[in-house]
Copies of this chain bind each other. A is one copy, B any other.
């Protein structure tokens, strides 16, 4: 039913392109306008460039603004589409767009281009958009739209309903109406539901919920998403330090934030950026190389560490067979601890760090005892050498313990320093766990060598 597969999209694009080619502009506009807003964006971006060249001439600024508001592609690509038009047309479309999307596009342009577009906009629009652009990425300010409905507490239900009807086309969300005082301080919220279910002559004051939940413009977008998800809000107001109402963030933007933050955590764990799966093979390889080479260089330290124990290995070559299982299992335990720690600290949990460390220690201790016992038992049965079994079992247990604590402490430390622990990636931690495991393993094996060589 949706244009949710490539074939349906291709057919629609083909059909619409044909209407343009054969000069049936009115029919094209009829068919195009019947599409959902998201589909308008999909189709517009998929039209051949020479057809699009005609299409935007046929459309008014409002239709084009709707298209540009609903394009779910990289801002850079959207800017590319905008630049297919004369600068004045582009500026007009930017002005007609929702302010948050307009700001996103301007932020994706080089400064010179931004200046060109701003020079072609009305002065009050320039002032507002400059205010929005200054908010840092990933903050509430960068997400908020400035198209919202705010009314005074003394107004009547019927008057507010009239404003809702008037502004319905422009405001991004009319599910909540915000109540402000004369200095634009946010003092409450009224839901459209309440407006519809109360008498026309009632004062807004008496149905205003003054326990309005808001976020400040510099809040982290992840915290905003958490509040909206918990409270099941359709939108949330954004205020400044003096509680002035600045804008609103709607739930559709929150959906994007949750997706984006999840991709970030996930990419970190795999040391690869998965945010764009449509990349070409060449780009994909290029993007993976830096981390892979970094890890390779760090891995060379493991090689050097094992090389230091060449003498031990010469006396007991069987020791080499246990390197991957000890380093690998410790690395797995470390990755688990890291994943738990990133989620834990990333969720803004403010529990006592010491309590968590103790939990992690107990949990790692149980894991290490069981893991070590299993490996010792299997080695005993396989090699029939109790000295060797003891050495590898002990090494595995200590390696799991060290790796788990390491992978917990590093994100805990970063969290304490107010750095998002998601910057550490899984393979990096696994590499550091490798170092620890190798040192532990060969130190123990060297010390216990006489206990199993020649048996």
Chain A contact residues, CB within 8 Å of chain B: 1-2, 4-6, 34-38, 70, 72, 161, 164-165, 168-169, 174-175, 192-193, 196-197, 211-214, 226-232, 234, 251-252, 254-256, 258-259, 262-263, 265-267, 269-272, 274, 277, 280-282, 284-286, 288-289, 291-293, 295-297, 299-300, 302-304, 306-307, 310, 313-314, 317-325, 327-329, 332-333, 335-336, 338-340, 343-344, 347, 349-351, 358-364, 366-367, 370-371, 374-375, 378, 382, 426-427, 430-431, 434, 438
Q: Are B320 and A362 in contact (CB under 8 A)?
A: no
Which one of A251, A267, A364 has the greatest number of beta carbons of chain B within 10 Å? Answer: A251
User: What residues on B are CB-neighbors of A366 within 8 Å?
Assistant: 282, 285-286, 289
Q: Are B333 and A232 in contact (CB under 8 A)?
A: no
8 A-B contacts (beta carbon < 8 Å): A4-B226, A37-B231, A168-B197, A232-B252, A306-B320, A314-B317, A320-B320, A323-B323
User: What residues on B are CB-neighbors of A169 within 8 Å?
Assistant: 197
Q: Are B300 and A378 in contact (CB under 8 A)?
A: yes
User: What residues on B are CB-neighbors of A2 within 8 Å?
Assistant: 213, 227, 230-231
Bound form: Cα–Cα A82–B364 in Å: 35
User: What residues on B are CB-neighbors of A302 within 8 Å?
Assistant: 324-325, 328
Bound form: Cα–Cα A374–B259 in Å: 36
Known contacts: A1-B213, A306-B320. The answer to whether A426 contacts B270 by CB under 8 A is yes
Bound form: Cα–Cα A314–B310 in Å: 11
Bound form: Cα–Cα A282–B259 in Å: 31
Known contacts: A251-B234, A295-B329, A296-B375. The answer to whether A35 contacts B211 by CB under 8 A is yes
- For the complex of A and B, list the 6 residue pairs with the smallest distance between their C-beta atoms, beginning with the closest: A262-B262, A270-B339, A281-B359, A320-B320, A285-B363, A272-B336
Q: Are A299 and B284 in contact (CB under 8 A)?
A: no
- Which of B269, B300, B359 has a CB less than 8 Å from the CB of A266? B269
Bound form: Cα–Cα A306–B322 in Å: 8
Closest residue of chain B to A305, judged by CB? B321
Q: Are B333 and A292 in contact (CB under 8 A)?
A: yes
Bound form: Cα–Cα A286–B360 in Å: 12
Q: Are A324 and B327 in contact (CB under 8 A)?
A: yes
Bound form: Cα–Cα A194–B306 in Å: 72
Q: Are B281 and A329 in contact (CB under 8 A)?
A: no
CB of A267 to closest CB in B, whole Å: 7
Closest residue of chain B to A342, judged by CB? B274
Q: Are B251 and A339 in contact (CB under 8 A)?
A: no
CB of A435 to closest CB in B, whole Å: 9
User: What residues on B are CB-neighbors of A361 within 8 Å?
Assistant: 281
- Which of B1, B285, B359 has a CB less than 8 Å from the CB of A367? B285
Q: Are B332 and A303 in contact (CB under 8 A)?
A: no
Bound form: Cα–Cα A370–B291 in Å: 12
User: What residues on B are CB-neighbors of A277 within 8 Å?
Assistant: 340, 343-344, 347, 349
User: What residues on B are CB-neighbors of A211 within 8 Å?
Assistant: 34-36
User: What residues on B are CB-neighbors of A282 within 8 Å?
Assistant: 362-363, 366
User: What residues on B are CB-neighbors of A335 within 8 Å?
Assistant: 270-272, 426-427
Known contacts: A317-B314, A343-B274. The answer to whether A306 contacts B281 by CB under 8 A is no
Q: Are B303 and A270 in contact (CB under 8 A)?
A: no
CB of A316 to closest CB in B, whole Å: 10
Known contacts: A281-B359, A321-B306, A328-B434. The answer to whether A255 contacts B256 by CB under 8 A is no
User: What residues on B are CB-neighbors of A319 within 8 Å?
Assistant: 320
Closest residue of chain B to A347, judged by CB? B277
Closest residue of chain B to A322, judged by CB? B303
User: What residues on B are CB-neighbors of A212 within 8 Å?
Assistant: 1
Bound form: Cα–Cα A434–B236 in Å: 49
Bound form: Cα–Cα A252–B227 in Å: 12
Known contacts: A270-B269, A292-B336. The answer to whether A196 contacts B317 by CB under 8 A is no
Which one of A38, A168, A266, A358 has the greatest number of beta carbons of chain B within 10 Å? Answer: A266
Q: Are A324 and B270 in contact (CB under 8 A)?
A: no
Closest residue of chain B to A363, judged by CB? B285
